[in-house]
Chain A
Amino acid sequence: QSVLTQPPSVSAAPGQKVTISCSGSSSNIGGNYVSWYQQLPGTAPKLLIYENNKRPSGIPDRFSGSKSGTSATLDITGLQTGDEADYFCGTWDGSLSAYVFGTGTKVTVL
């Protein structure tokens, strides 16, 4: 059972913005950096955001992350059909001595 909670799905029209939340606790998000992963259908996950708000090379600035307390957020602006994917948050949990993933959010472009 995941210790990080995400909404199962979000949707918006092309060009609009979606926000995905990731809720945790003091032992994980509250005390560690958060990463976000994008998994396009039928492919392996890909790192989208690390250290709460940094983008790896090649990730467009339409994707942005933030963290406040024990929650984190991924924003996708200028939504494109190619953004349809599952998105997962992840971080280290110091109490569990384990890496934990969120429950995952499916983004649908209407």
Chain B
Amino acid sequence: GAVVSQHPSRVICKSGTSVKIECRSLDFQATTMFWYRQFPKQSLMLMATSNEGSKATYEQGVEKDKFLINHASLTLSTLTVTSAHPEDSSFYICSARPGVGMSGELFFGEGSRLTVL
């Protein structure tokens, strides 16, 4: 199946710093990638839809200036958590769908655990 890779898998940072998480589709092109956030023992909440070559679409309640998303190519989307605070600590998961308007199946990255001290 299609492979989606995230990096880093774990990151610890100080409060006030910015952290970048990368999401790559390794063997397919993805015009659309999705970023989810998962709190401990909770479900996945869609944060934003990342569109190649255009601005991301954010879900209600997600601060776009806080969570910067860039979809620079058909295989790479990045999520930057700016001026991170302890409440931003979470598990961030990206996903991508091969092609456009296809089967709907999403392939997920391994996730990135962010801990803000």
A and B bind: no
* Chain B positions near chain A (C-beta within 8 angstroms): none
